[in-house]
Copies of this chain bind each other. A is one copy, B any other.
Amino acid sequence: MAKLKINKLVVIGVGLIGGSFALALKRARAVKLVVGVGRTQANLAAALDLGVIDEATHDPALAVEGADLVLLAMPVGQMPAVMRRIAPHLAPETVVTDAGSTKRDVIAYARRHLAGCLAGFVPAHPISGTEKSGAAAAFPDLYKGRNVILAPLKETAPAATRLVRSAWQLCGARVLRLDATEHDSIFAAVSHLPHVVSYALVNALARRRNARQLFGFSAGGLRDTVRIAGSSPEMWTDICIANRDLLLQSLSDYEDELARTRKAIARGDAAQLKRLFEAARSAREKWLVKTR
């Protein structure tokens, strides 16, 4: 891995994701100046206080002047406006990457709004995060041992991809490549669907008249199952809408599986129900326990 030196890093959207990227690169001494761009004064002030960023501004166009690397780390729904705003101010050598959880939509936005700068654009997705958000939640080890997916375009310059790969590797991540559609299909299943499942489970209980009593009797099982229902509603709305075709396919598979389980319960078919539960337990042990 070549020594990486970024003179100016611009993080647009200084939350958990963008803030942790900045902190990790600062700790690695790979960056001189971090400029944070955000909408709310309070969050930018916190980011400055905590040393996540060195300078703050509300204006992305101003921020990207002379930048080596720009990370778009705001909710995907804000991508088109931000891209439109920064495009005229990007130098030819500036590399732009993103941290969006969906890739086909981000690429479509880039083709529309960053048309002249595609050689410097590296679509990416760090597979990490917690249910917390905001600059105060950022920490430099967020990406340690985690996967980061790169989905470079045919127009992307190899040097731009190398820069982004090096930056993520310095954060401790394992960098992989996927085609954008393959990426979106995989994450519809393993990430977007579980969020929908988790939000819906909380709402199904919360709608009941005795919701307070119900939650009072809950134990670790429910708590873990709905942990990700604490995730940012804004971000997850954008993701679900952006990836809706593939998410709806995954949701259908899941609804079919629930219907299969319901039938076994309704028939009192213990043998079939046990087969379903055993299949789930063994799949989880075989595949999931290995991952972190």
- Report yes or no: A273 in contact with B190, Cβ–Cβ below 8 A: no
A291 to B222, CA, bound (A): 11
* Set of chain B residues within 8 Å of A241, measured between Cβ atoms: 265, 268, 270, 273
Number of interface residues of A (CB under 8 A): 91
Say how far A284's CB is from chain B's closest CB, in angstroms. Answer: 5
CB <8 Å contact, A227 and B229: no
A191 within 8 A of partner (CB):
yes
**Does A274 interact with chain B (Cβ within 8 Å)?**
yes
- For A195, the chain B residues whose CB sits under 8 A away are 221
Chain B residues contacting A291 (CB-CB under 8 Å) are 215-216, 218-219, 223
Measured in the bound complex, the distance between the Cα atoms of B269 and A161 in whole Å is 35
Residues of B within 8 A of A189 (CB): 204-205, 208, 214
Contact with B along A33-48 (1 / 0, CB 8 A): 0000000000000000
Instruction: Tell me the smallest distance from the CB of A69 to a CB of chain B, in Å.
Output: 24
Contact in complex: A253, B204 (CB < 8 Å): yes
**Contact present for B261 and A200 (CB under 8 Å):** yes
Judge if A262 is at the interface, Cβ distance under 8 Å.
Answer: yes
Interface string of A222-263 (1 = CB under 8 A from B): 111111111101101110110010011011011111101110
Cα of A268 to Cα of B248 in the assembled complex, Å: 11
User: Given A198-B225, A221-B191, A262-B251, A203 and B273 touching (CB < 8 A)?
Assistant: no
Chain A residues touching B, majority SS: helix
Given known pairs A190-B218, A261-B196, the reply for A207 and B274 (CB within 8 Å) is no
A205 CB contacts on chain B under 8 angstroms: 189-190, 283
Q: Are B237 and A270 in contact (CB under 8 A)?
A: yes
A288 in complex: contacting residue of B146, B222, B288, CB < 8 Å:
B222
**Please, how many angstroms separate the alpha-carbon atoms of A194 and B205 in the complex?**
11
In Å, the complex CA distance between A277 and B222 comes to 17
State how many angstroms separate the Cβ of A202 from the closest Cβ of chain B: 4
**Which of A146, A206, A226, A281 counts the most B-chain CB atoms under 10 A from its CB?**
A281
Taking a contact as CB atoms under 8 Å apart, the answer to whether B207 and A253 are in contact is: yes
Pairwise interchain contact A278-B190, C-beta atoms closer than 8 A = no
Residues of B within 8 A of A108 (CB): none
Q: Does A57 contact B (CB under 8 A)?
A: no
In the assembled complex, which residues on chain B have CB atoms less than 8 Å from the CB atom of A211?
283, 287
Known: A224-B225, A251-B262, A270-B237. A127 touches B280 (CB 8 A): no
Cβ of A128 within 8 Å of any chain B Cβ, yes or no, is: yes
A159: interface (CB < 8 Å): no
25 cross-chain CB contacts under 8 A = A127-B217, A147-B219, A187-B217, A190-B205, A191-B218, A200-B260, A202-B288, A203-B257, A203-B280, A206-B279, A207-B253, A207-B257, A211-B287, A215-B287, A215-B288, A216-B287, A224-B227, A225-B225, A225-B228, A230-B285, A231-B277, A231-B281, A233-B278, A241-B270, A258-B258
